[in-house]
């Protein structure tokens, strides 16, 4: 699905991370966390082939579904929700031919994110949360084997966050899609996550949530004392340097 071997990325003299080896298996849900500027988005870009690694290799199966960060869309963009999802299906193909069953697949993808009734609305008039659900449908419509999510929950209300994460989880269980999920907040994905990759201060740690989310591990990553507390199945982290956090 996805394999990084001794991967490293640097901008000039600034090393984001190095010696990163990670293998994501089919159906596995891996969350990527870390401070701002720790290279989470660069990791996603490297996996997509949009950014060259400065060390090591990355191997990916064909068929990546990509859910980017929420971004405002121009109000007048001449696309409806159904057209945006359609681009995930055949937007990369040359010519004008359309495959059979296209409409049905688009409808199914929109239904799966509770957005069937938005199909005919211009993408520009939808709220941020609605646009993001449409983007998830766009990423899933072609049936990818690896789903890359880059902060897809940012700016979503709690209900939409649950809808999106539950949908991603169902997808990997039913279709064996591997999931790499970049997020700055562990709690929304806590019920689903198998392993965590935590990036901070040029270092990283890979393991299950109980292995990584300890005061000792995070303190070591950040280089300052960090306190991890679990309350009612929620993980609270205190003491992360503000300069590195949003």
In a 13 Å sphere around the CA of 31, the CA atoms on its Cβ side amount to 27
The interaxial angle of helices 128-140 and 158-175, nearest 10 deg, is: 10
155: contact with other proteins by CB under 8 A: yes
Q: Which CB sits closer to other proteins, 42 or 160?
A: 160
Q: How far is the CB of 105 from other proteins (least distance, A)?
A: 16
Residue linked to tokens 């090393």: 15
Among 38, 42, 138, 183, binds other proteins (CB under 8 A): 138
Residue linked to tokens 């159906």: 27
Chain centroid to CA 203: how far?
A: 20
Q: Which CB sits closer to other proteins, 129 or 212?
A: 129
145: contact with other proteins by CB under 8 A: no
Considering only CA atoms, which of 66, 70, 65, 185 is closest in space to residue 130?
70
Asked if residues 86 and 102 have their Cβ atoms less than 8 Å apart, the reply is yes
14: contact with other proteins by CB under 8 A: no
The rounded distance, in Å, linking the Cα atoms of 89 and 94 is 12
Among 20, 53, 84, 141, binds other proteins (CB under 8 A): 84
Q: How far is the CB of 88 from other proteins (least distance, A)?
A: 7
Among 157, 211, 223, 224, binds other proteins (CB under 8 A): 157
DSSP H or E segment with residue 172: helix 158-175
**Binding track, positions 53-82, relative to other proteins; x by CB under 8 A:** -----------x-x-x---x---xxxxx--
Q: How far is the CB of 98 from other proteins (least distance, A)?
A: 9
The torsion angles phi and psi of 30, rounded to 5 degrees, stand at -110, 125
Chain residues binding other proteins by CB under 8 A are 48, 50, 64, 66, 68, 72, 76-80, 83-84, 87-88, 90-96, 114-115, 117-118, 121-130, 135, 138, 148, 154-157, 159-160
């Amino acid at each position: 699905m996805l394999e990084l071997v001794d991967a490293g990325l640097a901008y000039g003299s600034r090393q984001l991370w190095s010696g990163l080896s990670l293998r994501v298996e089919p159906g596995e849900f891996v969350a990527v966390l870390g401070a701002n500027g720790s290279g989470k988005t660069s990791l996603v870009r490297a996996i997509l082939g949009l950014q060259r690694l400065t060390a090591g290799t990355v191997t990916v199966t064909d068929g990546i579904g990509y859910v980017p960060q929420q971004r405002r869309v121009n109000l007048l963009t001449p696309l409806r929700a159904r057209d945006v999802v359609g681009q995930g299906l055949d937007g990369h193909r040359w010519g004008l031919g359309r495959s059979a069953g296209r409409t049905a697949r688009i409808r199914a993808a929109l239904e799966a994110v509770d957005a069937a009734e938005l199909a005919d609305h211009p993408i520009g008039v939808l709220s941020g949360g609605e646009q993001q659900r449409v983007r998830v449908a766009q990423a899933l419509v072609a049936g990818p084997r690896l789903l890359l999510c880059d902060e897809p929950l940012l700016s979503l209300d709690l209900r939409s966050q649950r809808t999106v994460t539950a949908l991603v989880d169902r997808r990997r269980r039913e279709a064996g899609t591997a999931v790499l999920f970049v997020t700055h907040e562990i709690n929304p994905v806590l019920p689903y996550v198998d392993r965590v990759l935590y990036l901070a201060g040029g270092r990283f740690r890979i393991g299950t949530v109980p292995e990584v989310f300890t005061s000792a591990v995070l303190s070591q990553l950040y280089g300052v004392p960090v306190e991890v507390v679990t309350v009612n199945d929620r993980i609270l982290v205190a003491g992360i340097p503000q300069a590195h956090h949003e």
